[in-house]
Structure formats: structure tokens, C-alpha cells
A and B are shown apart, each in its own frame.
Chain A
Amino acid sequence: MPAYLDTLNARFPGEFSTSEFRDNKRVIVSAEKAPAVLFGLLKCLKEECGFDMLAELGGIDYLNYPNATDRYCVVYGLTNTTTGERVFVKAYANDPDPQLPSVYPLWRGADWMEREVYDLFGVRFTGHPDLRRILLPHEFTAHPLRKDYPLRGYGERHNFPTITRAES
């Protein structure tokens, strides 16, 4: 068993589950526990287990996925830059108001990655100082990487207002 799991078991007993596939080791926090546990768990991984880099942060929408119970998931890929060890923390969130605590206070690298997840999935990160859309225009209303958003969109592109030179 990896050393970080001993630390997590001691600090957060029963608050998370684990799974493994190929070389990816995961720590999973359910939607009920994520708002209270997630930040502390990541802080513990960073400060006590040496996972000093947030290498990856991405969202997933599990709508209609086989055996899925929660809808949104944010994956935090942590890396220990000294040993090269990786761990993936998965935290779930659900409709109607998917929310997770922001890890911006721990890693400044989370700034844009959390904005991207907010933009494309609509998961709000509480405590993020500057949660705006990043890739899509600010007047866009949908979150296009959600599974219920059609591949060709809702026709937003055709309904963009046309600005003439005189009005600009």
C-alpha cells in the first residue's frame, strides 16, 4: 500500500474510497463528502505526502455512463516532483448546483484549469477568486462538454449578433 494512503486513512477514515487501473491510482471522494472533505484531503496530500504539483485538473460528465451514480466529476492529477509518484483524486458533484471547493489557495496552477471546467461543465468552484468563462465568449449560456449538449450546438453560432462597422 502506498505511503500516502496510510496518512489519508489516519486523517480521513472512511471518507474516501480507492481504485486502480493500469498504473493510475485513484482516491475517490463522493458527492456527499466532497464539499467538506476534498480541500482538506488535497491539502494533506500536498503538505504531508509531498504531492507538490497539480499536474492535471479536468472535468467529466457521467450522464448515461454505465453504473454511474453521480453526474459531474473533477479529476485532480497530483504529482510528487521528487519521486515522480502520481495520484488521481476524483471528486463528484451533482445537479442542480454542482459545486466543489477551489484548490486555488493550494496551487496557483489551478486558476485556469478550474475556469476551464467551469466554462465547459458548469461546475462552480467556491473560493476561486476569478471564476469567469475562459474559452467561450462571456455571453455564452450553455456548458458544451456536458453530455446533454448536442455535438452541433443549439445554433449559438448562427445567432451571434452582427456588429457593423458604424456600431463598433
Chain B
Amino acid sequence: MPLEATIPLDDVAGADREYLYTLNFGPQHPATHTTLRLILTLDGETVVKAVPDIGYLHSGFEKLGEDLDFNQYVTIVDRMNYISPVANEIAWHHTVEKLLGIEITPRCKYLRTILAELARISDHLLCIGAAALDLGALTAFLYAFNQREKVYDIIEATAGQRFHPSYTRVGGLLADISDDVIARIRDFVKTFPKAHADICRLLNRNRIFVDRTKGIGVLTKEEAINRSCSGPVARASGVVRDLRKDEPYLAYGELSSAFKVVCAKGGDCYNRYLVRMGEMIESLNIVAAAVENLPAGPVNVDLDEKLTIPDKTATYRSIEGLIQHFELFMWNRRWETPVEEVYGANETANGELGFYVVADGSGKAFRARTRPPSFIHFSIFPHLIEGHQISDVPAVLGSLNIIAAELDR
């Protein structure tokens, strides 16, 4: 089967077939950031046709999800969107808890909310930094990475792991946070606005950046809906949809007065940049409100419900704890699941990250389908780039924030 798409694409007016040539962009190219490939058909510098070729990082995550149990699979989910891994974990366990009918504790809800928003800030910083880097603005990239380092420090202090924390568990979290983490988060809330303003000053009215992003890769509202877009990509095109407001989960219902949904109408790369910049400040407001209203109490649901892994004191010092530990770790015991299936979605930095979990009564998922936002956003790339110039390819790619590990799974 040929790599060429068989969809007949309209020729650009006046383009002479004789002069068209093919350029292979990726899979190893600095501007793709991750492993993805584009086959571009060019007329001079104008892209007439773009055919994405993906699958270079396909590693069968969904097949593994059918073999690992609900707590083990969180380490795999981590590696999907590795720019904001905590958000994936929260989305995965959100779905599993919906399936099992678990209501997590208020403290756990707030902690997950804080981490999800920190993950969003970290993801947007990388997206904006890398997009600016591709367009020649190195300083903004360094400013952004300086702040990402602080988010990593918070996550390291929280979970003990910087990059892939695997912090959530069914019905709770790996551990409660310490006062040191609270102090770090408060410090981040105080210092981040200045760094954010620095990036704004570097890029918002930067002649080169604006010229290379404004009017490039325009996605209309109708197209955004028709092509299943979500998250900042859809909101930059005027789709007022944010699962945090529309289907409140975690603590977003209680904190809904602390944040607004950031939208734009232009639908081009510049608007997607502006939406991401705006969302970071809203996320910071959520973090600030959540950390000041953090409820006391346990982070895991009650031990008697036999759903969460008991802590080590309970495991070693009480017979109930020991029994429950074994119940959840022996491969033929684990959770009792309903013979049902459920779809749960979270608003992650890239858009709607959903999981469709089918359970057959055993302690593992029968099917763990992921609805990856990157996959859907990359499918609109040919539509966005056709008719633009080859130098716009990195601008559009950067504005979509494609993470190949999530794209290919």
C-alpha cells in the first residue's frame, strides 16, 4: 500500500504539476520535536499537499492496558503525554473511579486539582517555549523552561519522581503532601506571574513572532467542531467548551468562581498562543485558590471499602491492612468490577483526554481505549498547512503541541 493518501486533493490554482516536488520532513527533524513524519508536496515554497505519516512510536499502550491492572497501568499512562504526566494519571483514575463508583475524599480532589493545573502550566510553557524557539526566539524558551523546572521541583517533592511521578492510585494518591510542598506551591504562585509577564513582553508584540503566526493555520469554528478539536485549539477558534466548566469534576465545581474559560476568535497560530498564555494565569488562580482552601483529612478513601492500597503502617501493623494489601496485589483477586463500560474525560492541557474502560468483572480492564487529543489535532494539520509556506510548518506544528508518544501510543 502506498504512503500517499488516496484522497484526491484540489490542486492549488495555477500550480504546474511539472514544478511540484516532494520533501520529506521528519521523522528526525529538529522542528518536529518528536518522532513524526510529513511528506510535503511543494510548489516553490508553497505547501500544496501534506501527508502525515505516524506510528513511529507506537508501542501498544492500549494492549498493555488490558494486561496490567488499574494501578499498574498508571505508569504507562504517564508516558503518553510526557509533558504533563500527572494530568494523564488523574484522567485515567478519574475514569476507573467512575467505573468502580468511588467518591474520592475532598483533600484528594483538591490535591489532584492542584497537580492537574500545575501540569497544565508546565505543558503550556513547553508548547509556547518550543513554538517560539522554532520561530527563532530562544529567550522565551529559556524563560519558559526555567519555570517548568520549578513545576518539576514541586512534583519531585510531592511524588519523589520528577518526570513520571505515577502519583495517583485507585481511590486516592500515593501519599499525602508535606508542608514543604505547600510552601513551594505558594512560592510558585507568587513568582510565576513575573515570568509570565516576561514571556508576554518578549512575544506578544514581537514583530517577527507576530508576523509568522498571525493569519497562519486558520481553523474556523465550524471546522474545529467538525474535526473533533478540543482544548486550546478549539477555544482559539471560538468554541466555548471546557470540561472543567461543562462537566465539573474534581474540585472544579467548587472552584468555578476562581477561573474563567479563555477563548479567542481568530483561530490562527497567534490566537492559540494567546489562549495558552491566558490559560496559564487562570490555572495559577485555580492553584492559588485550591492551596488556600485545601481541606484537611485523609487522601485515600476509607480502608473498609477495600479499594485502596493501605499504607505501610496498616499493612505491617494490622491484620486487616495486610489482608487488603494482598487482596489488591494478588493477580487473581484485585478489584471486583461491574460488567460494564464507562467513558470518562478530563480537560488536560492539550484538550479532552478521555478513557473508555470496559470491565468484565475481573480486576483488569477488558479494554482501555484512550481518546488522545494530539492524535485528533495532528489529523487537522494538512487542512491547516495547505496553501501556506514551508517556513510555516514549524509554526503550525508548534501551535498544535503534538506529543508523539500520545499520538502513537
Is A144 interfacial (CB 8 A cutoff)? yes
In whole Å, how far is B74's beta carbon from the nearest beta carbon of chain A? 19
User: Which among B67, B98, B226, B246 is the interface contact of A108 at CB below 8 angstroms?
Assistant: B226
User: Which among A24, A56, A145 is the interface contact of B63 at CB below 8 angstroms?
Assistant: A145
- Can you name 7 A-B residue pairings with CB atoms under 8 Å? A21-B338, A60-B356, A65-B366, A81-B241, A109-B228, A109-B229, A151-B66
Question: How big is the A interface, by class?
Answer: 35 or more
* Given A22-B342, A81-B241, A113-B376, 18 more pairs with CB closer than 8 A: A24-B342, A52-B226, A54-B228, A55-B228, A55-B230, A56-B345, A84-B241, A88-B343, A110-B228, A112-B375, A129-B6, A130-B5, A135-B55, A135-B58, A135-B409, A138-B3, A149-B63, A151-B63
Decide: B226 and A107 in contact? CB cutoff 8 A. yes
Q: Report B239-276 CB contacts with A as 1/0, cut-off 8 Å.
A: 10100001100000000000000000000000000000
Is A111 interfacial (CB 8 A cutoff)? yes
User: Which among A56, A108, A112, A134 is the interface contact of B356 at CB below 8 angstroms?
Assistant: A56
> Which residues from chain B contact A58 at a C-beta distance below 8 Å?
356, 369, 371
Complex CA distance for A130 and B5, rounded to whole angstroms: 7
Complex CA distance for A37 and B408, rounded to whole angstroms: 32
Residue on B with the closest CB to A151? Answer: B67
Decide: A109 and B354 in contact? CB cutoff 8 A. no
Decide: A21 and B341 in contact? CB cutoff 8 A. yes
In whole Å, how far is A74's beta carbon from the nearest beta carbon of chain B? 11
Is B285 interfacial (CB 8 A cutoff)? no
Complex CA distance for A60 and B355, rounded to whole angstroms: 13
Decide: A56 and B371 in contact? CB cutoff 8 A. yes
Residue on A with the closest CB to B352? Answer: A55
Is B327 interfacial (CB 8 A cutoff)? no
CB neighbors of B among A112-134 (8 A): 112-113, 116, 120, 129-130, 132-134
